[in-house]
Amino acid sequence: MDSRDPAETLAMTEQNPEPQASPEAGAGLPRSTISIAGESATTPAKRSREIGNVELQGLNAYYGSNHAVRNVSLGFDSAKVTAIIGPSGCGKSTMVRCINRMHEEIAGARSEGRVLLDGLDLYDPRIDIVAVRRSVGMVFQKPNPFPTMSVIDNVTAGLRLTGASRGELEERGHQALIGAGLWDEVKDRLKGPGVGLSGGQQQRLCIARALAVDPEVLLMDEPCSALDPMATLRIEELIGELKERVTIVIVTHNMQQAARVADTTVFMLDGELVEVGPTDEIFTKPNDDRTEQYVTGKFG
Amino acid sequence: MNGAESHALLLDRGNLKRRNRVSKLVSLSSTIAALLAVAVLLIVVGSVLSKGIGALSIHFLTTPMGLFGDTTGGISNAIVGTGIIVGIAALMAIPVGMLVAIYTTEFAPDRIGHAIRFVLDLLNGVPTIITGIFVYGLMVAGNRQSGFAGSVALAIIMLPIVARTAQEVLALVPGALKEAAYALGIARWRTLLRVTLPTAAGGLLTGSLLAVARVAGETAPLILTCSIFGQGLLTEPGEALASIPIFIFQSSESPSPEAHTQAWAAALILIVFVLVLNIIARAFYARSRKRMGA
């Protein structure tokens, strides 16, 4: 499973030139890399940004007879933030949920086509869905910390099933909270309830929870839509910091947000991919009339 | 059209008084009905209290009942017997009821889930004397009465109550929490154990306590399955055990007024037990709802 074939990636922006190994980020932690049973089970703990490339090939998604995502082919580059914009119901969220195979959790939902993570087809029948979701983390619209768990237990919820030792849990929980920019605010209330935090803190707690299992890709489905402007700003800053560690795909209704955080922007309409490009181009000189009309507020 | 003319539309058109009267009548009659319901409870509790409190004593609570007609004894054997019978019934009905609820809310396809819900509602509507006869035919006829037979009858009555309340509570757990767990790569069964059940715990406990409270006073099934018991404090579920409802029933049949007072006192014990269970159940439910953001 050689994952580094640039020719095979339908990358819309240029590849990250230097494959920077950032040793300080997550140093010493084992990579959680999915693999097909029988093939190499682990990759070395090297943190090369060569990993975390996602590619959709002819992706179609359905809810019963409703064709929500229509033949989308698209690449998401590692160490980049990609924003997905488009009017309500255009299939943004559905497309993103196909990447971590959450789409199929909905009754009557199915998808066709391929989703490749570093060249590995996540819809291969031999793939372990649980492992997919550990490699591709997700943050939802509304903060959803587990109400029965403390702050620290929320962060380590995804880790605890791995049989990690107490010390390791503590350490990785600590790292994840630092990574999510929440440590200073909660260090004195780690044992307090997760739902006792403010909305913005709860959302960063959910980001920390997703980061703790050390994913390669982080999907964010309108992560700020339930937050006030200050909390939103805090999350946007965080996205800028996190992109060195994970590939970020963010669905947003807010075009200013896309312009602020994203390197690449994708515009979707009625389930179809209309245009992909560097964010400033999409917002200043889009190729497609529909994109122009949408970003200038003529519809949507 | 000037201002006064247009505002004329706002004036009474002849039926305003009548409408106000109807409105008052409806709110008054529903208030009276509500007061009536509360009054019934107060009258029942009040009369049980006033008639039973006289016979209540430490001696009454700690002494087993005497021979039929002898009113010098107490109800310690009935309290212990009810505890054992209801306890065994709860041990049988609660785990099964929980699993039924988990199956229908988490795993069953919609149609099967609906069918099971319907069956549970039917089971809940079966008169308890029927359940008693069923267990009598199954376990007592040709054999003998036992505390265990009583437990089986009570467990059958508890099962739909436990399962239905647990279903309602599990359905209240926000889907977003399960989604969050799945998205973290937490497997389905682990999500159930670590996220869904802890979140719903208070409500699940509530349903179980209500079911216990409900069957603690069941009399008809016990008359058929566990009413002819020996003297003294019995604790062996293989034999027929005394119970508070049966004690109330038999004492009230007795010609002696002292026995009647004892029946009232036992009724008081039962009603206090049920009220306390209900209050505890409510407290747990309130906590659980808060947790689920309802």
Return the residue of A nearest to B199 by Cα: A148
Residue A207 sits at the chain B interface (C-beta within 8 Å): no
Q: pLDDT band at A48, cuts 50/70/90?
A: very low
Distance, CA of A267 to CA of A157 (rounded, Å): 34
How many residues make up chain B in this entry?
294
**Inter-chain contact A130–B187, Cβ cutoff 8 Å?**
yes
The answer to whether A260 and A237 are in contact (CB under 8 A) is no
* Neighboring chain B residues of A147 at a CB cutoff of 8 Å: 177, 199, 291-293
Query: CB-based burial of residue A107 (10 Å sphere; 0-12 exposed, 13-18 middle, 19+ buried)?
Result: exposed
* DSSP notation for B152-195: HHHHHHHHHHHHHHHHHHHHHS-HHHHHHHHHTT--HHHHIIII
- φ/ψ of residue A51, rounded to 5: -95, 155
Geometric angle at alpha carbon B231, from B230 and B234, rounded to 5°: 75
* Neighboring chain A residues of B196 at a CB cutoff of 8 Å: none
Distance, CA of A85 to CA of A88 (rounded, Å): 9
Q: What is the mean pLDDT of residues B7-35?
A: 89
Three-state secondary structure call for residue A165: coil
Question: Quick one: pLDDT at residue A111?
Answer: 94
Residues 150-179 of A with CB under 8 A from B: 157-158, 160-161
* Neighboring chain A residues of B180 at a CB cutoff of 8 Å: 140, 144, 146, 206, 209
Residue A100 sits at the chain B interface (C-beta within 8 Å): yes
Q: Is residue A283 scored above 60 in pLDDT? A: yes
Six token digits for residue B128:
């308890």
**Inter-chain contact B184–A140, Cβ cutoff 8 Å?**
no
Residue A297 Rama label (left phi>0; alpha psi -120 to 50; beta): left
The distance in angstroms from the start CA to the end CA of chain B is 51
**Inter-chain contact B174–A157, Cβ cutoff 8 Å?**
no
Q: What's the pTM value of the predicted model, to 2 decimals?
A: 0.78
Q: Which of A133, A140, A148 sits opposite B185 (nearest CB)?
A: A133
B207-257 pLDDT tens trace? 999 999 999 999 999 999 998 888 888 888 999 999 999 999 999 988 888
Question: Quick one: pLDDT at residue B4?
Answer: 63
Mean pLDDT of chain A: 84
Six token digits for residue B91:
């041990």
* Neighboring chain B residues of A209 at a CB cutoff of 8 Å: 180, 184
**Inter-chain contact B186–A157, Cβ cutoff 8 Å?**
yes
Q: Which of A133, A142, A146 sits opposite B195 (nearest CB)?
A: A146
* Neighboring chain B residues of A213 at a CB cutoff of 8 Å: 184-185
Q: Is residue B137 scored above 90 in pLDDT? A: yes
**Inter-chain contact B182–A133, Cβ cutoff 8 Å?**
yes
Q: How far is CA B40 from CA B18, B36, B43, B263, in A?
A: 33, 6, 5, 20
* Neighboring chain A residues of B202 at a CB cutoff of 8 Å: none
Best residue in A133, A141, A156, A219 for a mutation probing chain B (most B CBs within 10 Å): A133
Describe the strand order of the beta sheet including A120-121 as a list of residue ranges. Answer: A66-76, A54-63, A109-117, A120-121
Q: Name the residue type at position A281.
A: E
Q: When comparing pLDDT for B4 and B171, which is higher?
A: B171
Distance, CA of A223 to CA of A231 (rounded, Å): 11
B103-117 pLDDT tens trace? 999 999 989 999 999
Distance from CA of A146 to the nearest CA of B (A): 6
Give, for A74, the enclosing helix (H) or strand (E).
strand A66-76
Q: What is the mean pLDDT of residues A189-202?
A: 92
The answer to whether A71 and A59 are in contact (CB under 8 A) is yes
Distance, CA of B170 to CA of B172 (rounded, Å): 5
Three-state secondary structure call for residue A105: helix
A205-253 pLDDT tens trace? 999 999 999 899 999 999 999 889 999 999 999 999 998 889 999 999 8
**Inter-chain contact A148–B198, Cβ cutoff 8 Å?**
yes
Q: How many Cβ atoms from other residues are within 10 Å of residue A233's Cβ?
A: 15
Question: Quick one: pLDDT at residue B6?
Answer: 67
* Neighboring chain B residues of A172 at a CB cutoff of 8 Å: none
Query: CB-based burial of residue B160 (10 Å sphere; 0-12 exposed, 13-18 middle, 19+ buried)?
Result: buried
Return the residue of A nearest to B291 by Cα: A147
Three-state secondary structure call for residue A121: strand
Question: Quick one: pLDDT at residue A43?
Answer: 40
Give, for B44, the enclosing helix (H) or strand (E).
helix B16-52
